[in-house]
Amino acid sequence: MFYGGCDVGSRTAKAVIINEDKIASSALLDTGSSPEVVAGNVMDTALSEAGICMEDLSRIVGTGYGRRRIPFAHAMESEISCHGLAAWWSNPSARAVIDIGGQDAKAIRLSPDGGVIRYMYNDKCASGTGRFLEIMAEALGLPLSALEETGDKAVKRCVLSSQCVIFAETEVISLLNAGRSIPDVVAGLHFALAGRVAALARGIGVEAPVVMTGGVAKNKGVFKALSETLGLELVSMSGVDPQLAGALGAALKAREYANRC
């Protein structure tokens, strides 16, 4: 049997289809201006990849900021529960999740069976989110995808003191004008973001192993900086694109709903 999960976030929309305990297909698209349209498009893409149609899905669960605007979802679940379940499914030893998305960051403590014990999130300030990296990449004249490789070349990383994105951008320009290299600045940006997210995680007492989810988890510079700042082991999702965690968790929730019937 097939189950579907659709995660319509602030920046991207994701869909995952599972066949019992395996991922059958997945898709990712930019969100755009219409959550309803992109939800349909991303699910259609995943269905086409799996070689099935919407009617073949026993249940579909929606999640993300736009979950209430997914017309074909049978049920809705919070991003917190979906990311927690997906992280535990890929890494059953996980006891915490840190999710850094485009517009927010979340820290989640998990029970041994993947349930959510406690969580905290930040959606008020961009300095602890993927948007921070986007703005800084623009200021440096770099594509977002180049930040990881650029930061790896750092000789002596900069320390950024500004907590506000606008002030941080000014600080970056000042550092460059003072002769600091772009790699040193980028490495400093990775640690600045890590510091803000680590404070969130410490607020709920996360314990290792910690699984990192969300699009920012693909940036190994941030991944390493967060592990070092927290002083805890961070692990990647096993065999799963971390950006698909919300949609995967929603698909797993869909399977749970179907099995209750």
- For residue 232, how many other CB atoms are within 10 A of its CB? 19
Task: Evaluate whether 197 touches 163 at the Cβ level (below 8 Å).
Answer: no
Give the pLDDT confidence score for residue 20 in this predicted structure: 83
Homologous superfamily of domain range 93-236: ATPase, nucleotide binding domain (3.30.420.40)
Q: Do domains 1-91+241-261 and 93-236 have the same CATH topology?
A: yes
Residues 6+ apart with CB under 8 A from 28: 12, 13, 14, 15, 42, 241, 243, 244
- How far apart (Å, rounded) are the C-alpha atoms in residues 241 and 52? 22
In angstroms, the Cα distances linking 189 to 126, 134, 149, 163, 183 are 13, 11, 13, 11, 10
Give the pLDDT confidence score for residue 43 in this predicted structure: 99
Ranges of the chain whose pLDDT falls below 50:
none
pTM, to two decimals: 0.94
Give the pLDDT confidence score for residue 163 in this predicted structure: 75
Give the pLDDT confidence score for residue 208 in this predicted structure: 95
Provide the CATH topology of domain 1-91+241-261.
Nucleotidyltransferase; domain 5 (3.30.420)
Give the pLDDT confidence score for residue 159 in this predicted structure: 94
Give the pLDDT confidence score for residue 128 in this predicted structure: 86
- How far apart (Å, rounded) are the C-alpha atoms in residues 46 and 216? 22
Owner of token pair 């990775």:
190
- For residue 172, how many other CB atoms are within 10 A of its CB? 24
Give the pLDDT confidence score for residue 166 in this predicted structure: 83
- How far apart (Å, rounded) are the C-alpha atoms in residues 124 and 105? 10
Give the pLDDT confidence score for residue 32 in this predicted structure: 85
Give the pLDDT confidence score for residue 189 in this predicted structure: 97
Ordered by start, the domain boundaries in the chain are 1-91+241-261, 93-236
